[in-house]
Amino acid sequence: MSAVLEVADLAVRFRTTRGTVNAVDGLSFAIGEGETVALVGESGSGKSTAALAMLRLIADPPGRIASGRILFEGRDILGLREEELREVRGGRIAMIFQDPMMALNPVYTIERQIGEVLALHAGMGREARAKEVVELLRLVGVPAPAERARQYPHNLSGGMRQRVMVAMALACKPKLLIADEPTTALDVTVQAQVLDLIQSLKDRFGMAVLLITHDLGVVAETAHRVIVMYAGRKVEEGTTAQIFKDPRHPYTKGLLEAAKWEEVEGAMLREIPGAVPSPFDMPKGCAFSPRCGAVQPRCRESAPPLAEVAPGRPVACFVAQEGRP
Amino acid sequence: MRGGTVRFVLRRLAQLVPVVLAIAALNFVLAKLAPGDAADILAGQMGHATLEFTEQLRREFGLDLPILEQFLAYMGRTARLDLGISLIQQQPVVELIADRLPATLLLMVTALVLAIATGVALGVAAARRQGTWVDNLISVSALLVYATPAFWLGLMLIVFFSIRLDLLPSGGMMQIGVAQTAIGKVLDVARHLILPAATLGLFYAAVYARLMRASMLEVYGLDFITTARAKGLSEGTIAWTHALRNALLPVVTLAGMQVGHLLGGSVLIETVFGWPGLGRLVFDALVQRDLNLLLGILFVSSVVVVLVNLAVDLVYGLLDPRITHK
């Protein structure tokens, strides 16, 4: 499978008054054509920052992509000129965001906001745009699309707005869709609908999807492969089946345990003790060591590098690398 | 305009009646708090300020009646939109105001348009280049202008543009006998308008520039701006369409609130530039204790202010579709 997107050694830093923070550190991964890859982690793990970095959408200042390569269709996004970058944005790579309430401009109609993409990337005229917008809305399952197109975001429910975001993202048949927590802000019943929608459209247009989420249920349903992030670094990667059946990193195990309680009736809520460390006060050695049940003295001395524990299974954990449970 | 908006305007106009009358009542009380009256002034001017003569004038003007009676008579007239006769100039107040109001409105509107256009443009420019020398230059200049007294600024502009460079007239509204054609007259008035409008507008331009900058920066932090960038829109399009329309709302609010302030400011500027507007009329009415004229001007001013506020509410609805007028 040839890679649509290949990220190598990506580092994103934020300059703050309290010092420089490594929000993403040494992240590498690849997404194959038509593949869905999930980027998983708690809040503060750097997954959303990584997603924004794919299109150089990180506000500078305070953020900056410090190093790395983001190869998309053979070109390094980080080396593109402004105009080239703008062709990729919304044209070849589209993005949808967590909160559809905030992601649409409140003062413009749906038609205008979707139409903008068509005018920009497909050079469509006014009438062609109006028609295409209605088609797109119909495609993403918005009822009465012609009427909805003339309405404003506040006239639509959260689920409808996310469908509009999906329609906007799909307007130019992108090669890659980056979905940053696309269902987090939605009602549970609507979540499944939006996921199904993304899934079916992905198959129909042959898009690859980078799915950013903290919801392992979403991952299980949609992703081919999973990348687990912790404190700005990738700590484990594998196919979805591998990650769910045979997690190697203690953090991944913890995440899965925490997600399981729903299935077992009467079970206590399991959690990973502690919280993601403050980026200003990173522990020495492995960033997960203060919360880890299998911690060893050396984990507090130096950070474990990523190493394959099995083919296609890089894990950043000394214990896992030695093959002990 | 849709039916809903028409009903909204009609209802708001009806609501304005008690508001304007309440302002009129307050004006009366404030005007009566000042010591002395027109009879004193007039008798003094005529050179025979005997007590009898002054009392006679008072009787003529109805100033000898009990204050409550004067008040009720005044409110009754005002409710019928009858502003009375100027005590000193002996002309209907409506005529005196109608003579002067257009000039003041022209000055005010020009200054306001100038202020909003300049302020918005500078605010957007500063926000787009936050933290650079452009931003710093705009912010510091705005602060400087903001802190400069308008009358002094006006005098300095006269010194520079009229006296040193001899580019623009230093006062008045038109030059007699210069322009024969209609276009010539318009151009002549425009030339005379530049300095007073700039003097009056610069202060507000500075206020709006600072507000617009802050407002733009706030909007820039919102998610839909990231969406706009992710679509591939240029920074220019993002600033002037997506951000601007959202960021304008606070500026429109402030501009609406400041119309009364602007009217007061134009009175001062008119004096500096000899602009034949309401300014001189207010001044005379105050000094001469011309109660009818003063109250008439205040009444008309308050009507202008409340009407502009209504207009601001309508502009709000145009800018933000979430606001509906019901």
- Residue at B268 is within a domain: yes
Chain B residues bordering chain A (beta-carbon distance below 8 Å): 131, 222-224, 226-234, 241-242, 245-246, 319-322
Chain B residues closer than 8 Å to A89 by CB: 229-232
- The closest alpha carbon to B171, from B267, B271, B273, B268, belongs to B273
Q: Return the residue in A88, A107, A118, A181 with the most chain B beta carbons within 10 A, the one to mutate for interface testing.
A: A107
A31 DSSP 8-state letter: E
Number of domains in chain B: 1
Tell me what percent of the residues of chain B surpass a pLDDT of 90: 24
- Residue at B283 is within a domain: no
Q: Return the residue in B128, B215, B224 with the most chain A beta carbons within 10 A, the one to mutate for interface testing.
A: B224
Over residues A127-140, the pLDDT tens digits come to 999 999 998 898 88
In the predicted structure, residue B218 carries a pLDDT above the cut 60: yes
Q: What is the sign of the dihedral through the CA atoms of B272, B275, B281 and B282?
A: negative
Q: Show Cβ contacts of residue B111 under 8 Å, excluding neighbours closer than 6 positions.
A: B196, B197, B198, B200, B201, B204, B262, B266
- Residue at B7 is within a domain: no
Closest approach of A152 to chain B, Cα-based (Å): 7
Closest approach of B317 to chain A, Cα-based (Å): 10
Instruction: Please tell me if residue A61 touches chain B, with a CB cutoff of 8 Å.
Output: yes
In the predicted structure, residue A305 carries a pLDDT above the cut 70: yes
| Per-residue pLDDT, B117 | 94
Type of residue at A156: L
Complete domains list, chain A, with CATH: 3-92+172-321 (3.40.50.300), 93-171 (no CATH)
Q: Test A154 with B233 for CB contact under 8 angstroms.
A: no
- Residue at B58 is within a domain: no
Chain A residues closer than 8 Å to B226 by CB: 52, 57, 97, 103
Within 10 angstroms of residue A42's Cβ, the number of other Cβ atoms is 17
Q: Return the residue in B222, B229, B237, B241 with the most chain A beta carbons within 10 A, the one to mutate for interface testing.
A: B229
Q: Which domain holds residue B130?
A: 99-277+305-319
Chain B residues closer than 8 Å to A61 by CB: 131
Q: Test A89 with B232 for CB contact under 8 angstroms.
A: yes
A144 DSSP 8-state letter: S
Q: What is the pTM of this model?
A: 0.81
- Residue at B78 is within a domain: no
What are the phi and psi torsion angles at B186 (to 5°)? -60, -45
- Cα(A177)–Cα(A137) distance, integer angstroms: 17
Mean pLDDT of B92-117: 91
CA distances, A110 to each of A36, A107, A126, A164 (Å): 28, 10, 14, 8
Long-range contacts of B16-25 (CB under 8 A, 24+ apart): B16/B306, B16/B307, B16/B310, B19/B306, B20/B299, B20/B302, B20/B303, B20/B306, B21/B75, B21/B78, B21/B79, B23/B298, B23/B299, B23/B302, B24/B74, B24/B75, B24/B78, B24/B295, B24/B298, B24/B299, B24/B302, B25/B71, B25/B75
Q: Test A89 with B230 for CB contact under 8 angstroms.
A: yes
In the predicted structure, residue B36 carries a pLDDT above the cut 80: no
Over residues B231-288, the pLDDT tens digits come to 999 999 999 999 999 999 889 888 888 888 888 888 888 888 888 888 888 888 888 8
Chain A residues closer than 8 Å to B319 by CB: 107
| Per-residue pLDDT, B225 | 93
CA distances, B23 to each of A146, B19, B20, B226, B281 (Å): 50, 6, 5, 47, 20
Which residue in B has a C-alpha nearest to residue A96's C-alpha? B227
- Cα(A224)–Cα(A175) distance, integer angstroms: 17
Q: Return the residue in A82, A84, A105, A177 with the most chain B beta carbons within 10 A, the one to mutate for interface testing.
A: A105
Model confidence band, residue A325 (pLDDT cutoffs 50, 70, 90): very low
CA A184, distance to chain mean position in Å, is 12
Model confidence band, residue B179 (pLDDT cutoffs 50, 70, 90): low
Q: Strand pairing of A233-239 and A225-230?
A: antiparallel
Q: What is the mean pLDDT of chain B?
A: 85
- Cα(B285)–Cα(B291) distance, integer angstroms: 7
Mean pLDDT of A299-322: 85
Ramachandran assignment for A78, one of left (phi > 0), alpha (psi -120 to 50 degrees), beta (any other): alpha
HSE-up of residue B8 (Cα within 13 Å, Cβ side): 14
- Cα(A41)–Cα(A228) distance, integer angstroms: 6
- Residue at B223 is within a domain: yes
- Residue at B241 is within a domain: yes
Q: Strand pairing of A19-32 and A36-40?
A: unpaired
Q: What is the CATH classification number for the domain harbouring B160?
A: 1.10.3720.10
- Residue at B239 is within a domain: yes
Q: Which two tokens stand for residue B208?
A: 């709006």
CA B316, distance to chain mean position in Å, is 19
